[in-house]
Amino acid sequence: ANITVNLEDSKSISDKMIGVFFEDINYAADGGLYAELVQNRGFEYSPDDKKGRDPNWNSFYAWHLIGEHAVFSIDTVNPVHPNNPHYAVLRIEKPGALLSNEGFNGIALKAGENYDFSMFARSTTDKKIKVFVRLTDPDGNVVGQTTVNVRSSKWKKISAVIRSEKDLDNGRLELVPQSAGSINLDMVSLFPQNTFKGRKNGLRADLAQLIADINPKFVRFPGGCVAHGDGLDNIYRWKNTIGPLEVRKPQRNIWNYHQSMGLGFYEYFQFCEDIGAEPIPIVAAGVPCQNSSCGGAGQQGGIPLSDMDAYIQDILDLIEWANGDKKTKWGRIRAEAGHPEPFNLKYLGIGNEDLISHVFEERFRLIYNAVKEKYPDIVVIGTVGPFSEGSDYERGWEFAKEIGLPMVDEHYYQPPGWFIHNQDFYDKYDRSGPKVYLGEYAAHLPGRPQNIETALAEALYLTALERNGDVVVMASYAPLLAKESNTQWNPDLIYFNNSEVKPTVGYYIQKLFGQNSGNLYYFSDVNLSDERESVRKRFAVSVVRDGVSNDLIVKMVNLLPAKIEVHLKINGLDEFSSKASCIILAGHPDDTNARPQEKEITVSNNFDHLLPAYSFTVIRIPEI
């Protein structure tokens, strides 16, 4: 192939192209990114969290009373906070019994590391009760221990630090009262001190680091379907997710489990700041899910119009909470939570894959107009739903144009062939209309594996997004995280269990694009020795410049079964010869374990390079 890059022929493109979509699906939050190790710490699990009600999924879930002469029950009288009404009652007739928490299928512990233990407790028998707090293996062998005293008859937070002496995948937390009496317990918590950036109430360091390594320019959260829920009472309300953990309001997760809200809006915004990404919170457009995709019951009502003012106020308050100074009501609440400086929110997503019904449009307009009036600088991102036959995509676009939306969120999950054959999808888009945020996409094969075939189809498509980076300003693969054995949706970018992280081949495509993005796109001429369309569409080139480092970045995708000798000519520069880094991701189409390999090469204005069959190559030429 002959590739001629014309440095005189360029256009500005978005410098925010690659980001991530975090949804609390597949145990992505509790039991996942949120580093809390105790499951059901607030005793708030409820049979109603599960579709069809599961009687075993209740306040006792993940907790076990072991031993005799003790009773473990649940009460709601005079709780720590009304938002968190259930708590445990432990009545000990004779010491010996213990209360054990199994974590999220076990607690992963590391030898030599410290863990922050805390709980709210009160003694209801008018005496001090000493409690051993232990880290154990499933057989009860102790690998770490401390002692706390429950002496107050009023709720009191008790904290301690425990060191683990051993590595364990399957540990337990045990509370062992040392005298007879009765105690009440709530918000029983165990956190590694080694969280991402050492934040309290923080994130699992290994998972957060993998996300940070993508160099995402934005994070969309908390969904997806989680954002709008499957009924009015299931809409995600950001105000329920901030403040002290014991006052946050847990909620049924639409994906059939429980959201403690320990990972709430403060933590999402903090994470964005920690990794240099723009926060993109998504709020419901005044309607819950109306599609079948997240269990919505089809056409159904939205928030009653008489309640919309209050709902809209919540959204305006979110912007004030994120951006207001300490003198504003909500800015002060953010400052008191530990973040005096504004978070500098620039984007707000309204809606997710909604039916573009009258009910939706009416409520969307109200929210949009209110945000536009009070915060004209906030870029509102609307939704046009999933692109597929019979979807509301067309009407979504009409509506977006009618009301002059700055940006819309598109979603599509399609076979690799669709991505290969639709690389011109955005070439035809109106440059004067709303910009595009491609909020969810993935190449789907039967059984939803992620392999070199899907990853390269996504890479081909990403080169087309870069070419259209004047109209497509952001893109995020979906969803980000999935816990093994708790996965409701495939494919996902990173799989994990309690102690391991397992990035997919597609993860490396996102990372290579995220780390090698630019803000200037150069057009190039490509001549292949075989110009048949089936060949042409399986080969792509994208050349960008990173305006910060001034590096020139050449990406090439070869989805053909044969290697390609490329002759690359760069027009518009004085003669040069330079070292460059070259990263290659290659493998058989069904390879799920391919990993990028890096080497140094020498490049010049005219150089030859061999692209392996089924490969993605990034050549980064410094400062030319």
Question: What is the DSSP annotation of 21-58?
Answer: E--S-TTSTBTTTB---STTTTS---GGGSTT--TTSS
The residue among 295 and 596 lying less far from ligand AHR, judged by its C-beta, is 295
Options 23, 174, 278, 353, the catalytic residue: 353
From its phi and psi, is residue 86 left (phi > 0), alpha (psi between -120 and 50) or beta? beta
Cβ 137 to ligand AHR shortest distance, Å = 36
Among positions 389-428, residues that touch ligand AHR (CB under 6 A) are none
Omega prior to 222 cis, within 30 of 0: yes
Sign, CA torsion 446/447/449/451: negative
Rounded Cα–Cα distance for residues 224 and 300 (Å):
18
Cβ 23 to ligand AHR shortest distance, Å = 5
Three-state SS at 153: coil
Among positions 488-547, residues that touch ligand AHR (CB under 6 A) are 489
Rg (CA), the chain: 27
C-alpha torsion angle, residues 151, 156, 161, 167 (rounded to 10): 100
Residue, CB closest to ligand AHR:
224
Check binding of 24 to ligand AHR (CB under 6 A): no
Are the C-beta atoms of residues 238 and 223 closer than 8 Å to each other?
no
Query: Which strands sit side by side in the sheet containing 606-611, from one edge to the other?
Result: 597-604, 577-586, 615-621, 552-558, 539-545, 520-527, 2-12, 564-571, 606-611
The residue among 22 and 238 lying less far from ligand AHR, judged by its C-beta, is 22
Binding segment toward ligand AHR, per CB under 6 A, in 65-73, 220-228, 280-288, 429-437: 220-228
Check binding of 318 to ligand AHR (CB under 6 A): no
Among positions 225-244, residues that touch ligand AHR (CB under 6 A) are 225
Rounded Cα–Cα distance for residues 490 and 481 (Å):
10
The residue among 138 and 298 lying less far from ligand AHR, judged by its C-beta, is 298
The residue among 254 and 603 lying less far from ligand AHR, judged by its C-beta, is 254
Q: How far is CA 86 from CA 61, 78, 173, in A?
A: 13, 9, 20
Check binding of 478 to ligand AHR (CB under 6 A): yes
Cβ 270 to ligand AHR shortest distance, Å = 23
From the CB of residue 519, how many other CB atoms can be counted at a distance below 10 Å?
Answer: 16
Applying CB under 6 A, among 25, 493, 505, 557 the residue interacting with ligand AHR is 25
**Total of residues contacting ligand AHR (CB under 6 A):** 13
Rounded Cα–Cα distance for residues 462 and 456 (Å):
9
Binding segment toward ligand AHR, per CB under 6 A, in 9-17, 78-86, 158-166, 218-226: 218-226
Rounded Cα–Cα distance for residues 92 and 90 (Å):
6
From the CB of residue 619, how many other CB atoms can be counted at a distance below 10 Å?
Answer: 22
Cβ 352 to ligand AHR shortest distance, Å = 5
Check binding of 440 to ligand AHR (CB under 6 A): yes
Give the per-residue contact string, 298-317, with ligand AHR (x = CB under 6 A; - = no): --------------------
Are the C-beta atoms of residues 22 and 482 closer than 8 Å to each other?
no
Check binding of 381 to ligand AHR (CB under 6 A): no
CA 110 and chain centroid, separation: 25
The residues, any chain, with a CB within 8 Å of residue 430's CB and separated by 6 or more, are none
The residue among 121 and 455 lying less far from ligand AHR, judged by its C-beta, is 455
Binding segment toward ligand AHR, per CB under 6 A, in 46-54, 221-229, 271-279, 525-533: 221-229
Check binding of 31 to ligand AHR (CB under 6 A): no
Q: How far is CA 427 from CA 391, 422, 467, 470, 548, in A?
A: 22, 10, 8, 10, 27
Applying CB under 6 A, among 202, 216, 224, 506 the residue interacting with ligand AHR is 224
Cβ 521 to ligand AHR shortest distance, Å = 29
Rounded Cα–Cα distance for residues 67 and 99 (Å):
9
Positions of E strands within 264-386: 278-283, 347-350, 379-386
Check binding of 353 to ligand AHR (CB under 6 A): yes
From the CB of residue 520, how many other CB atoms can be counted at a distance below 10 Å?
Answer: 17
Cβ 391 to ligand AHR shortest distance, Å = 11
Check binding of 23 to ligand AHR (CB under 6 A): yes
Measured N-to-C along each axis, helices 505-515 and 452-467 cross at an angle, to the nearest 10 degrees, of 20
Cβ 293 to ligand AHR shortest distance, Å = 4
The residue among 30 and 440 lying less far from ligand AHR, judged by its C-beta, is 440
Rounded Cα–Cα distance for residues 134 and 287 (Å):
46
Cβ 224 to ligand AHR shortest distance, Å = 3
Cβ 386 to ligand AHR shortest distance, Å = 7
The residue among 299 and 534 lying less far from ligand AHR, judged by its C-beta, is 299
Q: How far is CA 420 from CA 260, 416, 612, in A?
A: 41, 6, 19
Beta bridge mates, 194: none
Applying CB under 6 A, among 146, 193, 293, 519 the residue interacting with ligand AHR is 293
Q: What are phi and psi of 147, to 5 degrees?
A: -125, 135
The residue among 222 and 302 lying less far from ligand AHR, judged by its C-beta, is 222
Check binding of 352 to ligand AHR (CB under 6 A): yes
The residues, any chain, with a CB within 8 Å of residue 55's CB and separated by 6 or more, are 47
Binding segment toward ligand AHR, per CB under 6 A, in 69-77, 217-225, 245-253, 568-576: 217-225
Binding segment toward ligand AHR, per CB under 6 A, in 33-41, 92-100, 184-192, 222-230: 222-230
The residue among 164 and 352 lying less far from ligand AHR, judged by its C-beta, is 352
The residue among 184 and 352 lying less far from ligand AHR, judged by its C-beta, is 352
Q: Per the structure block, which two tokens stand in for 130?
A: 């000493």
Applying CB under 6 A, among 479, 506, 514, 518 the residue interacting with ligand AHR is 479
Cβ 294 to ligand AHR shortest distance, Å = 6
Applying CB under 6 A, among 223, 264, 331, 382 the residue interacting with ligand AHR is 223
Cβ 362 to ligand AHR shortest distance, Å = 22
Residue 353 designated active-site: yes
The residue among 40 and 450 lying less far from ligand AHR, judged by its C-beta, is 450
Which residues in this chain contact ligand AHR in the complex, by CB under 6 A? Answer: 23, 25, 223-225, 293-294, 352-353, 440, 478-479, 489
Which residues are tagged catalytic? 353
